[in-house]
Structure 1
Amino acid sequence: MKLFTFRLFLLSLLVLSFCRADAQDKILSADSSISIPDTLLFKIQKAQAAITEVNAANKKGYDIENLKNRLNDIQENIKPLQLDFRDSKNKLDTKSLLSYGLILKDASTRIASLRTVLIKSNGELQRMSQSIIDLSSDSLLSITQTDDAEKKLYLPQLQEIRLKLQSAGVLTGKNLDQVSRILANVSAFDLVINDLKTQADDQLQHSGEVAVGKEAPFLWNAPLTIVPDGGFWRQIQSSYLGQQQILSYFINSTWDKRILAILFAGAFFFWVYTNVKLSKRAAIKRKVGELQFEYLKAFPILASFIVLCNITPIFEPDAPSLYIEIIQFLLLLAMTYHLRLVLPERQLKYWLVIIALFTVLIIGNGIASSSFLMRIGLLAINVFFFYLGLRLYKHLKITQFTRKYVKIVIGILIGFNGLAILLNLFGRLSLAKAFSVTGVIGLTQMIGLAVFMQIILDAMELQIKISSCNKGIFSRISHSNTRASIKKALHIFSIILWVMVFLINMSLISGTFSFLEAILVKKRAFGSIHFTLENILFFTAIVYVANKLQKHVPVLFGEGSLTYDSEVEHKSSKVALIRLIIIIVGVLFAVTASGLPMDKLTVVLGALGVGIGLGMQNIVNNFVSGIILIFEKPFRIGDYVELADKKGKVKDIGIRSSKLLTPQGSEVIIPNGDLLSGRLVNWTLSHDYVKSELTFKVGTGTDLEALNKMIEEETKQTSHVMDSLPIEILVNAIAADSVEIKVLVWCQSIYTESAFKSELMSRLLKRFIEKEIKIV
């Protein structure tokens, strides 16, 4: 600071004073007589460039007000923490310490960023200040009485430069003073933040010992009331401001995640709203009837809000416990709005009592007081929930969850409230509060998740019905299997949510994530191969997803289950091509995620090549044949093909093998190599109709002209005949007492040839009997 004051004084002195000492004039004359005017012109240009740079920098400004506001904002965020640390006297609970640690870490990062900007600006201003000092003290730019005639020609320019240097020096000095003051304040406040971080880390390190140890007197020895320094309301105010700061910091720093959750809930609202609107159309209403759902209304705002409250922990897993408690409270209010019209009056009163006690418990949890009245109030709430858990353990049934899961949650409610009672009695208040809140929120969250599951199941049921009516994707898959799979997935998702909230309330979520991360990212070795469990997990997940996806590709492209007698619908082989692409991409991603080095991968591929050479030729042959079939397209799904003694409809074209569905209902799996190398007959490649042949023998005395006319008449009246193509009636052979007749008729489809023959022969037999034509 002294150096800065000296420089500022020197700058002002040199700019404002015009020294005319004779000794200096002689030296100037002696030094510059030879170099004028070239050196003087260079100095003038240099001074003008420096003045332009300084003025441009000062005109652009250094955003002084913004820097001050940033520092003030950080100070305002930390001020409640300073108050709470001072008033708590090193007795902050673990949840607050963890949240304060995050706030202080963020403040330290912001202070470091602010200090970097200020140091850069300060260095730039000092450099410009030094440049102005150097130019102002330059003897060539000074004006004296003894200057020669050539230098006096530049007198107006030199005077203008001196004035500009004076103005730039004043402005630069002002900016330098402001930036230096802010930088000093930033450095001082950085020390405050580091001191608070040290206190938080120290208290957090001993928080386990403090929580387990005796924090307060035994309940029977506790004072009736405790008036801290500044009064009881001062204590509440400091606790409130600290918690408010935690919430404010978290809400401001995680707005992007919250927007994602809101967008998800908005998408759910739009999805349900659209389907409800579609279900009211007359065409759909005739098919599905009147749909009634408990939570899904024409304008599903309540359902969407319940979904939003339940999915919040997934999007914000690092949320402080108070934030989760508020979300749970809002969820209970939303469910109360619905239950007020559903529950009987007595049950509704019990429900309202639970909400009221839950609210009191949350408020009491935030007050750091060990007085007898405060502790006896918490004890009464614990006793109530302990009794409630005993009553619910045998009688509570929630259809969305298994009985075992419900009993575990109720057991935790009973156990945690029982522990809270004992811990409260013996002065372990922090643990007592943590167990109380965790047990109660476990119960309320289970109820909320049950409602969440029912909402999603109802929404999916609505989607299934709408999609089935519109011949969408759900019209091609089993509804019962779909419902079972969705319910299973929701059950797993709900358990994950419940465990996450449980860990957040117990302040274990950060430690759990750190523990899992340490296990997953730890380097392990198998011989010369190094890997991590994270790589294996990603490898397994990618392979599993790719396998599931390629299996369900036909459903996504409108291909349901195929039967032999179903309507003929030829499908292209794009499904097999997409399957191949999914498998290749999945393998590439899986290999990349595995972290296997390329040299090790080369060894694996070499071993695979040896395996192929020894005994996997057929597998590779079938695989390559499948790729060729995809691009060559000798047949399609739905075609009727014949290979050796196998005939049937093509049901599926796979990468290694294809499936034929025979008229008998059996499925024949044929390797793709046989389909490509064998003599394949495709009856429906270009058209479905086929020429059917019918032979029979009549007596030699039969009138063949009348017989031909009769056959032609009956054939035209038969179903599935091609009217546009001619009927051929030929004499195939002649014997001593018979004539063999061959009838060639075009049938509309090879799949109906048997039915066509049966009907035609029945008709002909009936006419032959009428005309007394003898069949030999």
Structure 2
Amino acid sequence: MEKILEAGRQETINSIEKYSRGRIAIRQDILLQEIRQTSGRARIFLHKGMDTSGYARELKETHDQLTIVQDGITANNGSGHTTRNLAVSWAILNELLLKVSQQRDVVSRHIHTMVEFIDRIDSLSADSALYTFPLDSAQVIQYFNRLKVIARELGPVDTLLRKSIASLQHLQTSYDMTIVDIRTNLEDVERFRRQQDSRIFRRDFSNLWHPPSPHRPLSEIIPMSIAKEKLALKYYLRDFRGRLILLVVLIIAAWRFLLACKKKWADEKGLDPGFKGQLVFRYPSLSAVLVVISIFQFLFLQPPFIFSFILWLISAVSLCIIFYRFISPYWMLFWTIMVALFVLAGLTNMVLEASRMERWWMFALASGGAVYCTSVLRSSKHQELREKNIRYFIVFVVLLEAASVIFNATGRYNLAKTLMVAGYSGLVIAILFIWTARLINEALVLIASIYKHPERKLFYINFERVGEKVPTYLYVFLVIGWFVLVGKNFYAFQQATTPLMEFLGTERTIGNYDFTINSLVLFVVIIGVSTLISQVISFFAAEPGDQRDRDKTARQPGVGSWLLLIRIFVLSLGLFLAFAAAGIPMDKLAIVLGALGVGIGLGLQGLVSNLVSGLIIAFEKPVNVGDIVEVNGKMGTMKSIGFRSSIINLTEGASFIIPNSDLLTNHLINWTMGNNRRRINVAISVNYGTDLKKVNTILETVLKGNDYVMHYPAPSITVVEFAAGSINIAIDFWVADIRDSWHQRSDMMSRILESFDREGIEIPLPQQEITIKK
């Protein structure tokens, strides 16, 4: 028994040992597999890698650009700080800081990923299970060979990871130092700007008639200015290229819209040779450029002067071409001179440092403009002005340019340049805005005259109340915009609006959702724009309003049948873009859709039924826009298929609005699906004794003589019955267009009657015998 018990105890120990070593072997297999997988992922990550040399080149380029920015600020400051130089440098430094911070974040994430690989490999390698060896010598040799293979695979990867981390950490340090340099320069520039603002009325230089103080040559200032302005424009276009593309798309859409309206107006009303009251139609493309840029330039937040200058110059040139031979020669000359002065003032504003030559140029430019505008105010040509409000802005130019001359002569260089540029740009912007308002109102008036079909509500404008006088509220909006654009020339205005911009851009939290007021406004704007685009598509694709146009387009396939799908796609895309732009997570959209599903279940069955029916009509196409249909005995032309209902223009002239679900469930007759053909039946009667062969020959002659009667299917002449007082004959023939059926039926009956009279065949009068019983 003792031997048996001892054997049992020994077997228990051996079994436990065997189980433990089995578990260790399994653990070793798992660890070695994870080490190899982690090593493989690290190798792939290193193979993809990051272009450290490219980042180093960009960092060097950033240092070069930082040197350009420092020129005239902390280096080569021969003539003192100027407001424009500080403003442009501040904008470039912010862009450089954003770019370098983003690149540093990329490097940091790369380092973090590689550190995670090393940490994972080290943690797996430190597991004690790896160093528990089998008891069998053969298994030990096999296990050592496995370790040797993995070590051979892991060694190079570990070395590369550590070298890459060291290299990237050095690059990260360089980025950190660059960020510190940029922030230091930003603080210096901001301090200089505050100093400039606090002593805006103080003297910057000596009087203009005094000997020049030490200053930097203009030959050095201009290349520096060009380099800085190019940098500012480059970074701004990079940041707002999406909005720039949107601006171009809006211009193209407005141009196509005005072109379509012009064509329709020319077809229906006729264009005036002098475009009196129709100036918006003279050059639709230029009108679109002027209107869209004037309104949508506010999409670009805090643009550099060079960007705004380019937009204003494009609009001004467009208005010059529109004005050519439309306004009087005197005021055309005035506008041309003011645009030229605006261009010269804008180019001068891009010279970022002061010089004696530039000060004399500013003096001549401001004084010349003040004198010329004064002569214009004193002239007797005011009656030729088409917009009388322009005179107030001419007075504005005289005051600002005169003040610029005085401040420039007395050494207030920065204030003088700001006033000079604000004067000319203020006048040009004012005229652009005034004529933008006028062109918009002209377009509304002209559309009100030609937009007669039921969809005139598409643009949410009551066309009946649109008159020839520009609405006051439109002027109010444009005046506010004018103050904003002119105020951007002054640093004090920017300082005053900074708290508002910070308020709009500050992140707020409701529950788990972070948002800004800017994002909410952008959400509403995108939804509104997508809705407007949907309505514009309806305008272009809607069935023409008069019978002549319907006849012209009825036989031509169009996009009308796809209109509902296109509008749903546009609205859905706008909804998703609005959610993305506002930063609203898609799970929130799922919650909204879930709530909508509950609403559908509770009370929107009818609405959804009509919407689904509209989709079925769009896909299955039992009827298309432009088809001739008959519903409940009423015939008309399918005008549009909407979300909830469809519109049929009845032959009586009314518009029949029918829910989409009723359109599918009712008995719908589609004449167009049968190629618009229709069979016409004409019944006639002849007396007994009439030669039926002769009658048949006459009828065949009449049918062949009518060009509207189709030869295939061939017409038929059939004796129907022997009635009480006549022989009844039925004539069946086909016409190619159902619209001609009633007219051709009448014409055919008239021809038959004429032929019977000529051949002496009588049509019996209705007779009835009455027998009276006494």
Q: For the superposition of Structure 1 and Structure 2, which TM-score range results when normalised by the shorter chain? A: 0.5 to 0.7
Map Cα deviations across residues 283-329 of structure 1 (whole Å, 9 max, x no partner): xxxxx9xx999xxxxxxxxx9xx99xx99999998676589889999
Cα shift at 1:236: 3.9
When the two structures are aligned, how many residues end up with a matched partner?
Answer: 584
> Partners in 2 of 1:639 and 1:242 — Cα distance?
70
TM-score, normalisation: structure 1: 0.57
Structure 2 residue aligned with 1:664: 652
Say if 1:95 and 1:321, in contact at 8 Å, map to a contact too.
Answer: no
- Are 2:752 and 1:764 equivalent residues in the alignment? yes
> Partners in 2 of 1:347 and 1:633 — Cα distance?
56
> Partners in 1 of 2:106 and 2:526 — Cα distance?
44
> Partners in 2 of 1:631 and 1:183 — Cα distance?
57
Cα shift at 1:403: 1.7
> Partners in 2 of 1:571 and 1:722 — Cα distance?
23
Map Cα deviations across residues 647-679 of structure 1 (whole Å, 9 max, x no partner): 122222333222222222322121111111111
Cα shift at 1:106: 6.8
Following superposition of structure 1 onto structure 2, how do residues 122-271 of structure 1 map, counting pairs within 5 Å?
A: 197-212=186-201, 214-215=202-203, 225-226=210-211, 228=213, 234-237=214-217, 241=220, 244-252=223-231, 254-255=233-234
Say if 2:79 and 2:355, in contact at 8 Å, map to a contact too.
Answer: no
Which of 696, 703, 709 matches 1:708? 696
> Partners in 1 of 2:319 and 2:405 — Cα distance?
29
> Partners in 1 of 2:629 and 2:750 — Cα distance?
28
1:607/1:706 Cα in 2 relative to 1: closer, same or farther (>3 Å)? same
Following superposition of structure 1 onto structure 2, how do residues 289-688 of structure 1 map, counting pairs within 5 Å?
A: 382=366, 384-393=368-377, 403=387, 406-407=390-391, 409-420=393-404, 429-443=413-427, 502-503=486-487, 505-507=489-491, 517-523=501-507, 531-553=515-537, 563=547, 565-566=551-552, 568-569=554-555, 571=557, 573-596=561-584, 601=589, 604-688=592-676
> Partners in 2 of 1:366 and 1:526 — Cα distance?
48
Say if 2:225 and 2:350, in contact at 8 Å, map to a contact too.
Answer: no
Aligned amino acid, residue 81 of structure 1:
I
Map Cα deviations across residues 336-386 of structure 1 (whole Å, 9 max, x no partner): 999999999999899889968986997699698899x99999777655533
- Are 2:712 and 1:728 equivalent residues in the alignment? no
Name the SS for the 2:672 alignment partner.
coil
- Are 2:85 and 1:96 equivalent residues in the alignment? yes
Q: Which protein has the larger Cα radius of gyration, Structure 1 or Structure 2?
A: 1
Structure 2 residue aligned with 1:469: none
Say if 2:342 and 2:425, in contact at 8 Å, map to a contact too.
Answer: no
> Partners in 1 of 2:331 and 2:609 — Cα distance?
74
Aligned amino acid, residue 600 of structure 2:
I
Cα shift at 1:714: 0.9
Aligned amino acid, residue 74 of structure 2:
Q
Cα shift at 1:688: 2.6
1:67/1:399 Cα in 2 relative to 1: closer, same or farther (>3 Å)? farther
> Partners in 1 of 2:715 and 2:54 — Cα distance?
98
Unaligned runs of 5+ in 1: 1-59, 120-179, 229-233, 268-287, 294-302, 455-459, 461-480
1:389/1:699 Cα in 2 relative to 1: closer, same or farther (>3 Å)? same
Map Cα deviations across residues 33-77 of structure 1 (whole Å, 9 max, x no partner): xxxxxxxxxxxxxxxxxxxxxxxxxxx999999999986785576
> Partners in 2 of 1:317 and 1:408 — Cα distance?
28
Which of 733, 737, 740 matches 1:752? 740
Aligned amino acid, residue 225 of structure 1:
H
1:399/1:500 Cα in 2 relative to 1: closer, same or farther (>3 Å)? farther
Cα shift at 1:723: 1.1
Aligned amino acid, residue 761 of structure 1:
M
Aligned amino acid, residue 522 of structure 2:
F
1:254/1:663 Cα in 2 relative to 1: closer, same or farther (>3 Å)? same
Q: Greater CA deviation, 330-339 or 195-204?
A: 330-339
> Partners in 1 of 2:316 and 2:551 — Cα distance?
55
Following superposition of structure 1 onto structure 2, how do residues 11-90 of structure 1 map, counting pairs within 5 Å?
A: 75=67, 78=70, 80-85=72-77, 88=80
Map Cα deviations across residues 435-479 of structure 1 (whole Å, 9 max, x no partner): 12321343467789999999xxxxx9xxxxxxxxxxxxxxxxxxx
Cα shift at 1:235: 1.1
> Partners in 2 of 1:593 and 1:525 — Cα distance?
17
Which of 732, 742, 750 matches 2:730? 742
> Partners in 2 of 1:242 and 1:641 — Cα distance?
75
Name the SS for the 1:235 alignment partner.
coil
Say if 2:221 and 2:351, in contact at 8 Å, map to a contact too.
Answer: no
1:757/1:604 Cα in 2 relative to 1: closer, same or farther (>3 Å)? same
Cα shift at 1:428: 5.2
Cα shift at 1:757: 0.7
1:509/1:689 Cα in 2 relative to 1: closer, same or farther (>3 Å)? farther
1:757/1:551 Cα in 2 relative to 1: closer, same or farther (>3 Å)? same
> Partners in 1 of 2:515 and 2:362 — Cα distance?
51
Cα shift at 1:760: 0.7
Say if 1:718 and 1:756, in contact at 8 Å, map to a contact too.
Answer: no
Aligned amino acid, residue 739 of structure 1:
I
Structure 1 residue aligned with 2:454: none
Name the SS for the 1:702 alignment partner.
coil
Name the SS for the 2:577 alignment partner.
helix
Cα shift at 1:627: 1.0
> Partners in 2 of 1:340 and 1:598 — Cα distance?
53
Cα shift at 1:755: 1.7
Say if 2:66 and 2:93, in contact at 8 Å, map to a contact too.
Answer: no
Unaligned runs of 5+ in 2: 1-51, 109-169, 250-269, 276-285, 444-462, 766-774
Aligned CA RMSD, in angstroms, stands at 6.5
> Partners in 1 of 2:380 and 2:530 — Cα distance?
41
> Partners in 1 of 2:546 and 2:335 — Cα distance?
56
> Partners in 2 of 1:367 and 1:713 — Cα distance?
93
TM-score, normalisation: structure 2: 0.57
Name the SS for the 1:674 alignment partner.
helix
1:336/1:204 Cα in 2 relative to 1: closer, same or farther (>3 Å)? same
Say if 2:564 and 2:643, in contact at 8 Å, map to a contact too.
Answer: yes
Name the SS for the 1:81 alignment partner.
coil
Name the SS for the 1:723 alignment partner.
coil
Name the SS for the 1:211 alignment partner.
coil
Name the SS for the 1:744 alignment partner.
strand
Structure 2 residue aligned with 1:33: none
| Identity over aligned pairs, percent | 23
Aligned amino acid, residue 431 of structure 1:
L
Cα shift at 1:186: 12
Map Cα deviations across residues 720-759 of structure 1 (whole Å, 9 max, x no partner): 2121223333333434322332222222222211121111
